Each structure stands twice: as C-alpha cells, then as structure tokens.
Amino acid sequence: MSSTTRLTAILAAAAALVATTTGTATAAQAQTGTPSQTATGPTWHQVPPPVPSGNILAMTQVDKHTTWATGFQATWHGEASTLNPVLLAYDDRTGHTDAAGHAAKPAWTRIPTPADTSDSRINALSADGAHNVWLVGDNNPVGPGTILTEHWDGKSWHIADAPVPDGTLSAGFLGVATVGPRDAWAVGWTQRMRGDTSFDTGLVEHWDGKAWTQVKLPADVPDAMLLGITATGPRDVWAAGVLTDGTDQPALLHYDGRTWTRATVSDTGLYAEFNTVVAAAPNDVWAAGRSVTSDKDRGHPLVAHYDGHSWKTVPAPGTGVIFAAAPTPGGVTVVGYDKNTGQSYGEQLDGQGWHSLNLPTVGIDSTPYSLAVSSRSLIVGGAYNPDETNPFQPLLLTADR
C-alpha cells in the first residue's frame, strides 16, 4: 500500500484536477471522533484570484492584516502545461464598493518575484514578520541541480538556490520555517537511485544568513519524506512527514538547537502520514494528516498533539485526509479533502469539542491545501474544477471569524 501524501497531491494536482453551517460536538464526541452536529456555520465567500488556473498550496500571515498565499499557475498548451510560481497578497482592510454600492470583500493581488518565469512551483512559505519571508519550491530538472528558494527582506527579493545530494533525480522543499534573520529551516524530499531502484528520502537544510546547507539526520531515522516543518524558536523545531522504508508510518523529528532526534506517536492505524505540523508554543504542537485502518480503508483524518512531554492522537470526526492546519484558541483548525464524499473537509477543535467549518464545494470538485487564520478571518486555499472541460483554478475562500 502506498500512502497518499501531500507530496503526491502536489505532484498529481495538474492531472487529478483536470477532468472530467458550524456544527458543535460535545466533549465526549471530541474524544471519540464522533461527527459534529450540523448547524448554521460561517458565511464563506469565494474571492476571485488574479490568475486563471493553478493551485494555492500554502499561506502565512506576514502581519495581523496581511495574508500571503503561494503555489503555482498552470498555463495550458493543448494537453500539456507549464507550471510557474505564483505569490498572492490579501489585506483584510482593503475593501471596495461594488456597482450596487455595497461593501465588497477585499481582493487578492499578485506580487511579482524574480522566479515567476521559473519552471517550478512554490510549495511552502513562512514569515518572521513582514521583513523576513521565505518561499521554497522544487528543483529544476534541466537546471544545475538545486532547489529554488526566494527571500523577501522587506525591500527586495533574493533567489538563494539550495543544494541537493549527488545523484539526485528530483527533489524539492515542501515546508519552511522562518526563525530569524539568519535562521531558517526547510524540509522536503530527494529521489535517487539505489542499485536499479529509485528511492525517496527526507531532505533537511538550514539557512545561516549566507547559504543553505544540508543537515544529516540521525542514523536511527529511516528513509522518510518530510512534508511540513514548524518552529517556536531556534531551539525548538519540529518536522513531520511519512516513512518511505516500506512501513508507511508517520515521521516526526525534533531539533533542540543541537541535534535532530526522532519522536513517536502511537495509535496511528495500519498506515499513516503527517502532512502538516504547526505550533502555538513549545508545549502546544499539532500534527495532522491521514490514517488508514485496513487495506480497504480510504482514510480518516489523523490529528496528534504534543503537550511538551509526549505525543497523543486526538480523534477527529469524518473521513478523508488533512492537508493544512493552524493553531486556534483552545485547539486547532484543519482542512483537507474527503474522498468518500467528494467534499472539502474542514473542522475546528476548541475546549467544547469539534465544530464543522461547513466548507462549500466550489464547481464540481474542490480540494483545500492551505489555511491561514487571523484575528479577523479564516482563509482557505487550494484548487477546484469549475466543470468537466475547463482546467482547474485556484480556490480562495474567506470567512469572518
């Protein structure tokens, strides 16, 4: 059985998407993962993006009013396509008045970067304030064998290519954590050959203010694909993903300022992966993804929490896979996709239990891959199919908190 990971979703998005009321749970339901009850939920607004086709893979808050979203734009040439990086900005203070005189929702604007014409995607971004933002993507198969990264210092953009191991066939970063001006971490994967067989293994690199450097993982860490990273400071960094050693088990790694070590979480099912990891504090860290209980199971949401001492799974309602998460008061908010129902998946956990976000399905199919939460709004990004003939388009949804 091959785990469905966030990487698979990203790499297959172009092929897979071209085709063809808030509920409240009791505390007991939160412990058992019982589906939340249906009630009137937040009002979601679809905000038109300034790009005609593509996917929004990551979001971050650069200040209390501004959200940046990134991914790729797809340009179609018959049945073939070209993918290029895209970066969008959303300011929740900049509304406008429509033709009827009603206040309209703020719009997304495109931010040009030096890598806009690169044959790559931007898979993740992270900000330590509005003057220190990192964007990370894929390697260019026809380039010199490096991974694309871009840095914004508040005044200008700088491209800083990251090295890949010798013999790399393909590679990319799927997560980045901006810690300080001279301190950032990026994680992802690299594909190489072992004899006549290709294999995927985790890639961790550190930015020291001058260059990206590969970091060797501990010997007891098997082959893994790292899909997300978060940091509360220079001595507290978490990375998450899935083992690629044939076990298809979730991977959790921790950096304490000196070394990376492996962490474990029990009760994750027969197969599982963590697609995202987020932290509100050193004793409040969340990892989320998917768990499979049998070979015929299509998957259930997997949520785990670290309280500063150990990881424990937190049963979540529904079925499907979680792609993005954000810490919220008293818990966490998660979004993803439910293959069993064909609908978007969104839930929020607080002290009262799980509450459904009641995400709408836009077009004939929509998949959230990214999430940002501010003091004023919830923002969800991804991709959707408007119909069976047109290419997939960026999905951008907002709701007031």
Query: d(Cα 357, Cα 143) in Å, to the nearest integer?
Result: 42
pLDDT tens digits, residue range 63-102? 988 999 999 998 887 777 889 999 999 988 765 444 455 5
Residue with tokens 């990206």: 212
Q: Is residue 1 part of a domain?
A: no
**DSSP-assigned letter for residue 307:** -
Q: How many other C-beta atoms are found inside a 10 Å radius of the C-beta of residue 315?
A: 16
Q: Is residue 194 part of a domain?
A: yes
Point out the least confidently predicted range of 36-50, 277-291, 384-398: 36-50
Residue in 188, 191, 142 with CA at minimum distance from that of residue 166? 191
Q: Is residue 182 part of a domain?
A: yes
Instruction: Domain of residue 209: give its range.
Output: 6-400
pLDDT at 5 exceeding the cut of 50: no
Beta strands across the sheet bearing 80-91: 54-61, 66-77, 80-91, 108-110
pLDDT at 128 exceeding the cut of 80: yes
pLDDT at 17 exceeding the cut of 80: no
Query: d(Cα 208, Cα 291) in Å, to the nearest integer?
Result: 36
Q: Which two tokens stand for residue 316?
A: 């979540």
Give the mean model confidence (pLDDT) for residues 30-39.
40
Point out the least confidently predicted range of 93-97, 111-115, 282-286, 316-320: 93-97
Q: Regarding predicted confidence, which is higher, 387 or 57?
A: 57
Mean pLDDT of the residues in the chain: 86
CATH number at residue 128: 2.130.10.10
Count of domains observed in the chain: 1
pLDDT band at 21 (very low <50, low <70, confident <90, very high): very low
Give the Å distances, CA to CA, from 13 to 18, 175, 397.
8, 18, 19
pLDDT at 267 exceeding the cut of 70: yes
pLDDT band at 149 (very low <50, low <70, confident <90, very high): very high
> Following CA atoms 277, 385, 299, 398 in sequence, which dihedral angle do they give, to the nearest 10 degrees?
40
Q: Which two tokens stand for residue 45?
A: 């607004």
| DSSP annotation string for 122-152 | EEEEEESSTT-EEEEEEEPTTTTSEEEEEEE
pLDDT at 53: 92
Point out the least confidently predicted range of 25-34, 106-115, 218-227, 270-279: 25-34
Q: Is residue 25 part of a domain?
A: yes
pLDDT at 105: 59
Q: Is residue 79 part of a domain?
A: yes
Query: d(Cα 283, Cα 160) in Å, to the nearest integer?
Result: 33
pLDDT tens digits, residue range 35-56? 443 455 688 999 888 998 999 9
Name the amino acid, one letter, at 89: A
Give the mean model confidence (pLDDT) for residues 15-40.
36
pLDDT at 33 exceeding the cut of 70: no
pLDDT at 104: 59
pLDDT at 27: 29
**DSSP-assigned letter for residue 244:** -
